[in-house]
Chains A and B, each alone.
Chain A
Amino acid sequence: MAEGYTLSPEDIRLFLDETLDQLEVLEEEIVRLEGEGDDARLLQDMFRIAHTVKGSSATVGYSRMSTLAHAMEDVFAAMRDGRLAPRQELVNVLLEAVDGLRGLAAEFDSSGGPGAEGEGGIDVEALVARLAEAASLGAGAYEVRVKFADDTVMPPVRALQVIQALQELGTVAGSRPSIDEIKAEKAGLDLSAVLVLASHVDETEVERKVGEVSDVERVEVRRFQPEGRGTDEALAAGDADVSRPDAAALPGTPGDSVGDGDGSPGGSSGREPGGNGGGGSCGESATTDVPRLLGRSQGETIRVGIEAFDRLVRIVSELAIDEARLAEVQRRLAALDGHSEPIEDLEQITAHMGRLTTELQEEIMKARMTPLASLFKRFPRMVRDTAASSGKLVEFVVEGEDTELDRALIEEVADPIIHLLRNAVGHGIEPPDERVRRGKPEKGRVRLAARHVEDRVVIIVEDDGGGIDLVRVRESAVRKGIISPEVAAALSDEETIELIFQPGFSTASQVNDVSGRGVGLDIVRTNVEKLGGTLRVKTSVGKGTTFALSVPLTLAVFRALLVKSCGQEFAVPLSSVVEVTRVPLSEVKPVGQGHAIVLRGKVLPVFDLRNFAGRGNGAVAAEPGDGTPTECPGRSPERPAGRAFVVVAKYEDMRVGIIVDSLLGEQEIVIKSLGRLARCARGVLGGAILGDGRVALILDVARVLEKAMGRSHVSGSGFEGGNDDRSDYQLQC
């Protein structure tokens, strides 16, 4: 930086001593300013000192110091010219800036040269930003946004040019991406915000200056207005600041300022009364508004790691547990003491706390939701490339990209969707000549659609290609030894198509054999099921294939029905529960390899959770006649009069009755991974901590159903030849 100059230790000493002297004078003058108001000579002298410090620090190559001094110089110039009043808030910031300059001098002194930004030193960018903001109550601070042309080469260099151009006009207080990021070549086609303090020029001049840089496609310049302090509010709060001639001329109201387009008026208005309400909070907001402005400008959001959200969810769930326990204590007290006043108070408090906890949970969950567009926008290019490389003509239609899904899940569904889209284009859609021969349009159509269905998101990947040839699927499965010829002959169409999800069904060489379907589809389905999702397929030969991927809206929290069996609590996701009924155990009959009851004239496969609770040897324990013990060892049976509760749960369009000992009620639960244990117990999705600290196991209804049907055609392991019989549903591992 200090090129062409060799600084001797004496030079540095002189520079530092002189600067420190000047700063002392400046500090005194700033303090006097507060008492004496705008004294022209005082202001001129302060301007001169800042100017000198700027110049000498630039001469020794200390750019951080000269940047800060430059920003102060601009503030003094504005005050001197009557464009800015020395209000207390501004004085505070100026004094901090003087401290900042002293700190910079100390850094220089101890290291013998300009210190680097960051590493716990003086944060020049933040100080300049605060000066810019304090000054912007007068005039001359602009927020600039720049978009470069799509074919710009080396966009970070263009971004640097814009910054340099703006530095010629005034002080660049900050930018997104930051100047350091730009110099580290981390910048794209947008400069989403540059805050420049340039009190002597107007918007047009700023725009013209930026426009001089090549490849600039669009420039937006606005006067910078700190959020939440538009004209009205500023005027209302500003009776102490007499000389602010520009205040009334400032454009806009709070809603008109940089924060417009914010889609969550509830969120921001909720913040303001707390942050800006009190008269004494002005100084405080000055420290936060600029970073917030710069952050928000980037798509009006702040970035928070998903881990931070997970922590919040965890904390809130613990809170919910305490809240439930508190309610429990309150009930017990009420039972003891009737309706005494303190207990009624407690009741009100717990009720209110319950509402707040629920709201808090809902807000956090809402914040986790992200439109699928962020994922879907990656696909048109991929589909195009896949089509090009496989010689297909494809029209790609995307629908429902504004459907929202838990951010953690969006990443998880990406791979399955990519897989399905590639299959649809590469293998589903026929080559153009073949399509023409079949009387179809030359161009195939692949549709990706998402929508909410109750508390799930269903994502459809659909093609109008050749469909899956079920005859060939059967042949292939037999040839691969997945099923015997006899079983193959007996399979229905629905069962046959499930074969494509079998492990080992398809390898690359098989792909073209069977209309090119099934490449690793077993893995796709397994991954989807790990998310509590399902993957189903429908096909029609000659017309096309549709995959439907359904996942829960969120992984984190859901409502569940709590039940008990053999003293163990289980949670059944409420979204799966159809109804709860009570039946005599004598009505449970063996059917095939499982058991069933007849409910309102329909056969319903059932599964006794007592088997799940780790007692069982595989047999359903509800049939008194089959000789299997039904007791829970060491516990008293909770099925009086030979009747038991049956929770009717659904999975896709199938239903299963889950026989339980007792019902505990509904509750919002948070999934906790059971780690190794859960991998051993395939019927369990995870654990949930209950109000009394006990752990409930969350049932995977799909697996329970599969078990109840005696391993037939539900999904996944249905064709695995019975090797999972013993290990699957036992928690011991």
Chain B
Amino acid sequence: MPRVLIVDDAAFMRMRSRKLLEEHGYQVEEAQDGEEAVKKYVETSPDAVLMDITMPVMDGIAALKEIKKRDPHAKVIMCTAVGQQSLVMEAIMAGARDYLLKPFDPDKVLASLKKLVG
């Protein structure tokens, strides 16, 4: 069962994503900021990460870079709002594999994960 780390500061968003992913056969870990995400990534080595961009403590892009340092093959999907194009661009250059627009279209979330982890 593929494992996904959901990183978001909003508990509501984590809950919704968890529900969607668990319904489709993924095992879910959660982190509520970038720092925790890096820690959880190292501990659990998930198959993919759904990473929010705007978060307290450590933002998504910083967390992405930290994770990439530890695992160059990490599969990180950035979660973004409209208007963050240059941030997303930066994330892609830093090695993010895909990005998703919030609020999520469930089909797109699943399609993106499927491409990355099968």
Binding site for B on A (CB under 8 A): 3-4, 153-154, 156-157, 160-161, 164, 183, 185, 212-214
Question: Is there an interface contact between B85 and A154, defined as CB atoms closer than 8 Å?
Answer: yes
The stretch among B17-25, B26-34, B107-115 that forms the contact with chain A is B107-115
Q: Is B99 an interface residue (CB 8 A)?
A: yes
Q: Interface residue tally of chain B, by bracket?
A: 10 to 19
Closest 3 CB pairs of A and B: A153-B101, A154-B85, A157-B88
Would you give the shortest CB distance from A149 to chain B, in whole angstroms? 10
- Check if A153 sits within 8 Å of B82, measured CB to CB: yes
CA distance A3 to B64 in the complex (A): 14
- In the assembled complex, how far is the CB of residue A162 from the closest CB belonging to chain B, in whole angstroms? 11
Cβ contact within 8 Å between A156 and B108: no
B89 at the interface (CB under 8 A from A): yes
Residue of A154, A161, A183 with highest tally of chain B CB at under 10 A? A154
- B interface residues with partner A (beta carbon < 8 Å): 65, 69, 80, 82, 85-86, 88-89, 92-93, 98-99, 101, 108, 111-112, 115
Indicate if the CB atoms of B115 and A212 lie closer than 8 Å.
yes
Q: Are A183's CB and B98's CB within 8 A?
A: no
Which of chain B's residues have a CB closer than 8 A to the CB of A183? 89, 93
Closest to A185 in B: B85
B99 touches A157 (CB 8 A): yes
Instruction: Report B-chain residues with C-beta under 8 Å of the C-beta of A213.
Output: 98
Complex: how many Å from CA A156 to CA B93? 12
| Nearest residue, chain A, Cβ from B84 | A154
Closest residue to A1 on the B side, CB-wise?
B93
In the complex the two chains form, what is the Cα distance from A12 to B11 in whole Å?
48
Docked pose: A183 CA to B69 CA in angstroms: 23
Q: Determine if A157 and B89 form an interchain contact, defined as CB atoms under 8 angstroms apart.
A: yes
Instruction: Point out the residues of chain A lying under 8 angstroms from B69, CB to CB.
Output: 4
Contact of B92 among A4, A153, A161 (CB under 8 A): A161
Cα(A18)–Cα(B21), bound, Å: 52
Contact partner of B98 (CB less than 8 A), chosen from A3, A185, A214, is A214
Most buried by B among A3, A157, A161, A212: A157
Give the interface SS of chain B, mostly helix, strand, loop or mixed.
helix
Cβ-defined contact, A160 with B115, below 8 A: no
Indicate if the CB atoms of A154 and B99 lie closer than 8 Å: yes
Compute how far the CA of A154 lies from the CA of B100 in the bound complex, rounded to whole angstroms: 10
**Contact between A160 and B108, CB atoms less than 8 A apart:** no
Contacts of B99 in A (CB 8 A): 154, 157
Task: Given A4-B69, A153-B82, answer yes or no on A214-B111 (Cβ-Cβ < 8 Å).
Answer: yes
Contact yes or no, A185 B89, CB < 8 A: yes
Write the nearest CB–CB distance from B90 to chain A, whole angstroms.
Answer: 10
Q: How far is the CB of A475 from chain B (nearest CB, A)?
A: 53
A185 to chain B, nearest CB (A): 6
In the complex, what's the smallest C-beta–C-beta distance from B82 to chain A, in angstroms? 7
Can you give 19 contacting A-B residue pairs, CB < 8 Å?
A153-B101, A154-B80, A154-B85, A154-B99, A154-B101, A156-B85, A156-B89, A157-B88, A157-B99, A160-B89, A160-B92, A160-B93, A164-B92, A183-B89, A185-B89, A212-B115, A214-B108, A214-B111, A214-B115
Task: Report whether B111 and A157 are in contact in the complex, using a CB–CB cutoff of 8 Å.
Answer: no
Q: Count contacts between A and B, CB distance < 8 Å.
A: 35
In the bound assembly, the distance between CA atoms of A458 and B94 in angstroms comes to 55
Given A157-B88, A183-B93, 19 other A-B residues pairs in contact with their CB atoms under 8 A:
A3-B65, A4-B69, A153-B82, A153-B101, A154-B80, A154-B85, A154-B88, A154-B89, A154-B99, A156-B85, A157-B85, A157-B89, A157-B92, A160-B89, A185-B86, A185-B89, A212-B115, A213-B98, A214-B98
List B contacts of A157 (CB < 8 A). 85, 88-89, 92, 99
Which chain A residues lie closer than 8 Å to B85 at the CB level?
154, 156-157, 185
In the complex, chain A residues whose CB is within 8 Å of the CB of B92: 157, 160-161, 164
Q: Which residues of the other chain, A, contact B65 by a CB distance below 8 angstroms?
A: 3
Nearest to B111 among chain A residues (CB) is A214
- With A and B bound together, what is the CA distance between A161 and B77 in angstroms? 12
> Which chain B residues lie closer than 8 Å to A214 at the CB level?
98, 108, 111-112, 115
Residues of chain A lying within 8 A (CB to CB) of residue B112 = 214
* Residue numbers in A under 8 Å from B93 (CB-CB): 160, 183
Docked Cα-Cα span, A4 to B93, in Å, equals 16
A185→B65 CA distance, assembly (Å): 21
Q: How far is the CA of A34 from the CA of B112 in the complex (A)?
A: 50
- Chain A residues positioned under 8 Å from B88 (CB to CB): 154, 157
For the complex formed, measure the closest distance between the CB of A533 and the CB atoms of chain B, giving whole angstroms: 43
Closest to A164 in B: B92
Whole-angstrom CA separation of A185 from B69 in the bound complex? 26
* Residues of chain B contacted by A161 (CB below 8 angstroms): 92, 98
| B residues in contact with A3, CB < 8 Å | 65
Nearest B residue to A182, CB-CB: B89
In whole angstroms, how far apart are the Cα atoms of A667 and B26 in the complex?
Answer: 80
Q: CA–CA, A4 to B66, complex, Å?
A: 11
A180: min CB distance to chain B, Å: 12
* Set of chain B residues within 8 Å of A153, measured between Cβ atoms: 82, 101
- Complex alpha-carbon distance, A214 and B86, angstroms: 18
Which residues of B are found within 8 Å of A4, using beta-carbon distances?
Answer: 69
Q: Tell me how far the C-beta of A255 lies from the nearest C-beta in chain B, rounded to whole angstroms.
A: 38
Task: Provide the residues of chain A in CB contact with B108, threshold 8 Å.
Answer: 214
- Nearest opposing residue in chain A for B108, CB measure: A214
Residues of B within 8 A of A154 (CB): 80, 85, 88-89, 99, 101
| Minimal beta-carbon separation of B114 from chain A (angstroms) | 11
Q: Determine the residue in chain A with the shortest Cβ distance to B78.
A: A157
Q: How far is the CA of A3 from the CA of B72 in the complex (A)?
A: 14
CA distance A148 to B101 in the complex (A): 16
Tell me the smallest distance from the CB of B88 to a CB of chain A, in Å: 5
Question: In the complex, what distance in Å separates the CA atom of A212 from the CA atom of B115?
Answer: 7
Q: Which residue of A lies closest to B116 (CB)?
A: A212
A156 to B88, CA, bound (A): 10
Cα of A570 to Cα of B88 in the assembled complex, Å: 64
Collect the chain A residues with CB atoms within 8 Å of residue B80's CB: 154
Closest A residue to B98 by beta carbon equals A214
Q: How far is the CB of B110 from chain A (nearest CB, A)?
A: 12
Residues in B neighbouring A185, C-beta threshold 8 A? 85-86, 89
Least Cβ–Cβ distance between B13 and chain A, in angstroms: 18
A509 to chain B, nearest CB (A): 41
User: B25 to nearest A CB, angstroms?
Assistant: 20
- How far apart are A167's CB and chain B's nearest CB, in angstroms? 11
Q: Which residues of A contact B111 (CB under 8 A)?
A: 214
B96 to chain A, nearest CB (A): 9
